[in-house]
Every structure is written in structure tokens, then in C-alpha cells.
Structure 1
Amino acid sequence: MAMPEQLPLVTVYIATHNRPGLLARAVGSCLAQTYPHIEIIVVDDGSAPAHAQQNQQLLQQFPEVIYRYLPKSSGAPVARNTAIELARGQFITGLDDDDEFMPQRISELVQQWHRHPGCAFLCTGYTVINEQQRRFCFARRPRVISYQQLLFANLVGNQIFTLTSSLQTINGFDPDMPSCQDYDTWLRLAAAFGDGYRIKSCSYILHQDHQSERISGSSRRESGYQLLLEKHRRFMNQAQLASHQVNQAIFNNNAFPWRAFVRLPLSQRLRVVKVLVSQRLGKLALLINRVIR
């Protein structure tokens, strides 16, 4: 078996803001990885002094974790880009401060990278833990994800695994995007370096069981989506533009655009149906829980 220093170094970046309790879980899940050669970079995006002090006290316990404090809060893209610039790993991946990795995640990704030569990036499915502590696994099916498929919808999710040099080449995340920064980055990455691949795994745990606002979701979502479309519209065909009409309606609870829906290819119609079904099931579970209580 190779010694840890003989294995490729993997950098994990974590942007955080005013959530020391959640950050502790995220960092702990990185330290618990079965893969032994990891660099963890935490960038504090201008947390309030009390929270920043808690973060520093937490990370003093783990001298192997690199911590950077940004005095002015500039948003998650700036914090992530700070980590990407500092990264020494051959590979890089991210973790939101309110989520966690399953212990085998990095090992799986490194192994799968060598099984899919030529891919620009890897991603996985994800496990959602909702307010009722119920677990749901999404996007488990392995598949190639091409740039043209990504133009229909974000089929990746909120994290990828790729070469650090690739993210650095495309200048990381766009700080001018108020939301949808991850989707914008995956589009630019695929356009520059080619297809990605989703492996058969749900090793990313996405927590929806807390009251804090997610870094990746806020009231700015709609303006971010509009900016995303302005930025990439010229690369989209009519079916892809129709897909975004449908996506916006679903995620903003607007009237469903049936005319746009019928313009979608069958594969995209099936994707939309799956999203709608999962939403309905989530609402039904919440209603049942309230009735039981």
C-alpha cells in the first residue's frame, strides 16, 4: 500500500460565515476521511468577531487545517477563490459549511478519477437530510454529463472533484454572481475541458435540518438565475431555453409553463417529472409530520 505522501494530495475548500457550530461538523467529516492525504482550507468570509473567535478556537485543535479570515464579507465565491488560489493539491473539491462528507467520499473520487480518464470533473449523487431527519438519496445513477446536457440544467449539484489547475485556469467562481455561482462554474469548466462524469455514490450529505440560511440559496436566487441566463444564453438552443423557463417556474413556485415543457426532449421531460414528484413527496412528508405532531 502506498504511503500517504505518495498519494495525490486532495484539497478540500470550505467557505464559512457566522456558523461555527455547523463548521465543526463539516471539518470533522473531512478529518474523518479514509483517504489519508488531504489538505483542508477554511476561508472565513467576514464572520462577526464572536463567531470568528469561535472558528479560530475550533481550528486551533486541528493545526493541519489552514484557516484564513477575510475581514470584509464578500460572498462565498470570493472565499472559495481564496482557497483555490492557496490550494496545493493536485485535485480539489468543495464542501459547504453546513454539510458533510461521508468517510469514503474522497477515496471513491480518487479511485474513480483513474477509471474515467479524460473527464474534466467528477460529481456524485447526494443524500438530503430534511427537517424531520428523514434521508433521501438523489442523482444516484452514474452517467456522463456533457456541456450540452448541462445547458439544460445543473445536473452536477453544488460540488465537483477536479484538477486544481482546471479550476484555477477558469478563475474559479464568478464573484459577480449573487447566486447560481456553482452552476455557472460547472458550465465554464465543461466548456473549457469537456465532459464530466457522475459516479454511483451518495457520499455528500446535504443538510436541510437547520434554520440557518444555506450559502447556496438565498433571496438573491432569482437575480442570480437571470444573470446566469444572460451570461450563457448565446450558447443555448430553443429547447435549452425552454428548460430554463420550466426550471425557474418550479423553483420559484410560479405557474407551470406547459408550452415550454412540450418543447423539451423526452429525457428532459422525465427529469422535470422526477423533480416535481420529489417536491410533492417532500411536501407530503412535511404535512404528515405536522399532523402527527
Structure 2
Amino acid sequence: MPAQSSATLPSVSVVIATRGRPELLRSAVRAALGQEYAGEIEVIVVFDQVAVDPLEDVVVPAGPRALRTMSNDRTPGLAGGRNTGILAAGGELTSFCDDDDEWLPTKLIRQVQAWREDPAAVLVATGIRIVTPGRTVDRLPPERTEFAALLASRITEIHPSSFLLRRADLLGRIGLVDEVLPTSYGEDYDLLLRATRVGHILGIREPLVIIHWNRASFFSGKWQGIADGLSYLLDKHPEFAGSAAGSARIEGQIAFALAALGQLAGARSWAGRAIHHDRSQLRAYVAMAIAARLVPAGPLVNAVNRRGRGL
């Protein structure tokens, strides 16, 4: 990117919602503050359901950089935490970073440069580098993603820790993160669906965010919240009725979650719906195998995660 003064670059607010990961959080904050970006960057750390840590041991680099910490004053959970940060932000652009992920130094430079070449984009994402025990996998997003593609597939290469949006869009035509969504599960997918109703997603096909999968997710094993969140998304977005592949994918995930809970009748019902929409929907068959106690859910999820994938 050509050398530019901070006055010619949009200011960026980085929202990091956190709970219970103090060391990983510090790495995320330092990486955001250490961007090779001449524009203004403020990092807003929102502590959810835990005491606020002022992060006094984190050195803020010289220049247009700032670090703020605060408590989630909205709905407990990830959605409320992110919205607290969005509403407190002063930057023209807003970006998210999970508290256990890290940005590579050129992330913001590449995003702002690409956005200037495609100003009609509503969101800019980058590739990710997934680090699991003994394995590193790069996942690159499509160069352009629209609503229909997201209905058919979550496109997990578009990861929330790489999102860059206009704050005005989050306060206006897209809207804030959905705090009604049960346990905030799928809040990033919901945001992407709403964003692509008004524009396309621009993808930078470089891995500029490190995703650490060598730890347990807050959602790991919380099957009821996963089932409830996905059911809510199906109801919220009626367009799924016109996408057999998209419906089957989510129905298969719900079946899997219910099977892991031991809710056999519900698991079989949702698996049947998934197979009706898409006979190749593997999650539905796996859910029935779990319901029949042929395979356990937990070790299966762990095995898939080690390959840089999710269910």
C-alpha cells in the first residue's frame, strides 16, 4: 500500500469481547495495536460476565493508537459484548477479533487497500490460518460472496476475527449483533446474512488472521444452545425454505446437537428433515449413528477440529 498519512486513512475500532482468557487476550490486543497501518486504531476490550482488567501491562505503541477496557453493559454473552464495543467505538470502521485469535501485521493495510478498489462491498474479510495441535491449515474466502451463496453454505473461511465493516452500517442498514439469538450461537452467520442483503462481501485470499483451535470453544459441548441457536436462525431467515442445501446443513447440525444430548426422537426427526432436503447431508447420518450410540459425539468433534474443520 502506498505510504499515506494517518489523515487520509479511516480510523478503525477493534472490538474484542472476552471472558476468561487473559494470556490469549493480551496476544490478541498486542497484535491489533501493532498493525502496520498509519491510520488511527483504538482497541476496545469488553469484559463479559467477569471483572474488568485494565490491561495495564500491555504497552500501547506510540502514534495514533489507544486501548480502552470496559464491562459488557448489555445482554450477557458474545452478542451483547460486541454491541457494547460497537456503541462505544469512535472509529469510522469496526472490526472484530476473538480473544484467542491474532492478526498478522498487514491485515488492516490489505483490507483498506482492497476496499478502496471495491467500495461497493459491505464487509471485507481475509483468509485465516487455523492452528491446531500438530497441524496448521490455511482457509481462504471467496473473492466475492453474496446472499445466495451464504444460504447454501456458512462459508467458514469468512471468519468473524477478520470482519471489517463500516460502523454506520452496523448502526443502520445492517444492524447490531442479534442479542436475542440463543447463547449467541451463530451470531456471526446471522450478521453475514444480514450484511449480504445490502451488499457483497469482499474476500482477501491471504491468511492474515491466526485462529487458535488448540483450546476448547465456549460452545464445545453446549449442545442445547447450539440446537436452539440454529433453530432460531432457520425461523429468522425464511429464505432457507428456498435453499435445500442450506436447510439440510442446518437441520443436520441440529440433529447432531440433539443426538449428543441424548434427545433421540428429536435427533431422528431433524435428521429426517435434513435427508429429505439433501440425501448427501453427512451430518444427518452421523447424528443417527450418535443417537444409536454407535459413535460418541465429543471425540468425533475433536477429531474434526484437529483437521481445521467444524461440524
Q: Which position in structure 1 is the counterpart of 2:126? A: 124
Q: Does 1:26 align with 2:8?
A: no
Contact 1:126 1:202 in 2 (8 A): yes
Is the CA contact (8 Å cut-off) linking 1:45 and 1:72 kept in structure 2?
Answer: no
2:192 matched residue in structure 1? 186
Q: How many Å separate the matches in 2 of 1:161 and 1:95? A: 10
Instruction: Give the equivalent residue in structure 2 for 1:36.
Output: 38
Tell me the residue number matched to 2:278: 261
1:284/1:248 CA distance change after superposition, 3 Å = closer
Shift of 1:206: 1.0
| 1:90 maps to 2:88 | no
* Alignment deviations for residues 111-143 of structure 1 (CA, whole Å, 9 cap, x no partner): 1101212111111221111133x21111x2533
Secondary structure at 1:175 match in 2: coil
1:80-124 CA distance string (max 9 Å, x none) = 101111222221110000111111111111111012121111112
Give the TM-score normalised by structure 1: 0.78
Q: 1:214 to 1:128 in 2, by over 3 A?
A: farther
The whole-number CA distance in structure 2 between the counterparts of 1:284 and 1:76 is 24
Matched position secondary structure for 1:124:
strand
Count of equivalent residues: 264
Q: What per-residue deviation string (whole Å, max 9, x for no partner) do you get for residues 150-188 of structure 1?
A: 112222332421211111113311111121111111111
CA distance in 1, matches of 2:148, 2:195: 12
Deviation at 1:243, TM superposition (A): 3.7
Equivalent-residue separation in structure 2 for 1:27 and 1:114 (angstroms):
26
* Uncovered stretches (5+) of structure 1, i.e. residues with no partner: 265-278, 288-293
Distance 1:243 1:17 in 2: 30
Question: Do 1:145 and 1:197's aligned partners in 2 also have CA atoms closer than 8 Å?
Answer: yes
For the 8 Å contact 1:43–1:67, the answer to whether it is kept is yes
**Contact map agreement 2:47 2:70 (CA 8 A) in 1:** yes
- Which residue of 1 is the match for residue 5 of structure 2? 3
Does structure 2 conserve the Cα–Cα contact (< 8 Å) formed by 1:246 and 1:260? no
Q: In the alignment, which residue of structure 1 is the partner of 2:176?
A: 172
Matches of 2:32 and 2:54, distance apart in 1: 17
1:61 Cα offset (Å)? 4.1
Matched, 1:136 2:141: no
Change beyond 3 A, Cα 1:131–1:263: closer
In the TM superposition, residue 36 of structure 1 has moved relative to its aligned partner by 2.6
**In structure 1, distance between residues paired with 2:125 and 2:82:** 18
Matched, 1:230 2:235: yes
Which structure is higher in RCO with an 8 Å CA cutoff and minimum separation 6? Answer: 1
The equivalent of 2:111 in structure 1 is 109
Please tell me whether the aligned partners of residues 46 and 71 of structure 1 are also in contact (alpha carbons under 8 angstroms). Answer: no
Mapped pair 1:150 → 2:150:
yes
Structure 2 distance, partners of 1:4, 1:16, is: 29
CA contact (8 A) 1:78 1:173 kept: yes
For 1:19, give the aligned amino acid: R
Letter in 2 for 1:130: T
The alpha-carbon deviation at position 60 of structure 1 amounts to 6.4
Q: CA contact under 8 A between 1:46 and 1:73: conserved in structure 2?
A: no
> Which is worse superposed, 106-115 or 155-164?
155-164
Structure 2 length normalisation: TM-score? 0.74
CA separation in 2, counterparts of 1:286 and 1:235?
Answer: 30
Query: How many percent identity over aligned positions?
Result: 26
Question: In structure 1, which of residues 279, 283, 288 is the aligned counterpart of residue 303 of structure 2?
Answer: 283
Name the SS for the 2:238 alignment partner.
helix
Show the counterpart of 2:206.
201
Name 1:99's counterpart in structure 2.
101
In 2 relative to 1, CA 96–185 (structure 1 residues): closer, same or farther, beyond 3 Å? same
Q: Aligned partners of 1:78, 1:6: CA distance in 2, in Å?
A: 32
Question: Which amino acid in 1 is paired with 2:113?
Answer: Q
Alpha-carbon separation, structure 1, partners of 2:230 and 2:89: 29
